[in-house]
Amino acid sequence: GRPMDNPLIVHISHLEQWAPLVSEIPPRAMELAKHFWPGPLTIILPKSTLIPDEVSAGQATVAVRFPSHPVARAVIDAAGVPLAAPSANLSGSPSPTEAQHVLADLDGRIDAVLDGGACDVGVESTVITLAQEVPRLLRPGGITPEQLSQVLGHVEVDPAVLNPLAAGEKVLSPGMKYKHYSPRANVVLVKGNLSAYIDYVNSHANEGVFALCYNGEKRSLQVPAVAYGEQEDACSQARHLFDALRKLDELGAEVVYAHSPQPSGVGLAVYNRLIRAAGFEVVELG
Ligand code: AMP
Ligand code: MG
């Protein structure tokens, strides 16, 4: 169900597979690769003629990633070519982080799942484009803007990372325009300290209302709750977020009040996914 204008990431298992896919590898791209590959970073450069339009969705650029997981790399090695592939979910539902999630979406439509265990990072790769003068972060992930700046100097953060797109606005990263990461429930992002959050949720307790909170907060809440990691540990939030969103759907949540993460470091990626899951509906508590 993936829209045709949403480009795929091309995955490699050896650094030498990169050069034929792009028009050239500038020094700053090689620096990034040295620091962060193999790992959760996708680098966009102008494409070579090897990349068909089906992969780049008609764009003049190609996104390449070198994953760290040994099973992913074994699959690419077995293919004998770089692998253009999406995440193993139905378009629109949260990305899978466990084999069970893949089956929940795709059982009956696919022959097999290779189970490499639960994902380490949890949210999708960081996407950066080097196809323009100033490097630009298109999608935050496990590699943070701060880490990228240490290697590249100034990095722009695309406005679509934190803000909704205006109607008809053109996007550099087509994935950002879809209502990605959307559970069936109506998610509302609630910003405020713990006591304000608890008061807000408890005063809205009702049939079908659930909370998406941090570990340890459940006992103060008067609605059923799913926790998505430690308040002070953005990596644990990233790891558990998509599983938590799927659980809320399984539990039949209709409205979900999500305790908002801090949008810095890996937390920027968590915030970016949650605010999309919430369709940019935010409650700010004083
Ligand atoms: P995924 O949905 O996790 O498979 O990641 C693919 C996403 O990477 C797309 O939705 C785009 O947002 C981004 N992407 C891939 N290729 C390109 C490209 N050539 N230019 C800009 N963004 C891209
Ligand atoms: Mg995807």
Ligand 1 contacts CB of residue 7 (under 6 A): yes
Identify whether the C-beta of residue 241 lies closer than 8 Å to the C-beta of residue 273: yes
User: Which pLDDT score is estimated for 177?
Assistant: 65
Is the bond into 183 cis (omega within 30 degrees of 0)? no
| Stated pTM of the model | 0.95
Ligand 1 contacts CB of residue 128 (under 6 A): no
Q: Helix 27-36 to helix 145-152 angle, to the nearest 10 degrees?
A: 130
Ranges of residues in the chain whose predicted pLDDT is under 70: 167-168, 170-171, 175-181
- 3-state SS of the chain is CCCCCCCCEEECCCHHHCHHHECCCCHHHHHHHHHHCCCCEEEEEEECCCCCHHHHCCCCEEEEECCCCHHHHHHHHHHCCCEEECCCCCCCCCCCCCHHHHHHHHECCECCCCCCCCCCCCCCCEEEECCCCCCEEEECCCCCHHHHHHHHCCCEECHHHCCCCCCCCCCCCHHHHCCCCCCCCEEEEEECCHHHHHHHHHHCCCCCEEEEECCCCHHHCCCCEEECCCCCCHHHHHHHHHHHHHHHHHCCCCEEEEECCCCCCCHHHHHHHHHHHCCCCEEECC
Give CA–CA dist 226/38, Å, rounded.
Answer: 32
Residue that is written with structure tokens 């990349």 in the block: 51
User: Which pLDDT score is estimated for 91?
Assistant: 86
User: Which pLDDT score is estimated for 93?
Assistant: 85
User: Which pLDDT score is estimated for 228?
Assistant: 96
Ligand 1 contacts CB of residue 44 (under 6 A): yes
Q: Which numbered ligand comes closest to the C-alpha of 132?
A: 1
From the CB of residue 205, how many other CB atoms can be counted at a distance below 10 Å? 13
Ligand 1 contacts CB of residue 277 (under 6 A): no
Span from the CA of 234 to the centroid of ligand 1 (angstroms):
23
User: Which pLDDT score is estimated for 14?
Assistant: 98
Span from the CA of 8 to the centroid of ligand 2 (angstroms):
9
User: Which pLDDT score is estimated for 10?
Assistant: 98
Residue that is written with structure tokens 């620091």 in the block: 35
Q: Which numbered ligand comes closest to the C-alpha of 96?
A: 2
Give CA–CA dist 129/139, Å, rounded.
Answer: 10
Nearest atom of ligand 1 to the alpha carbon of 62: 19
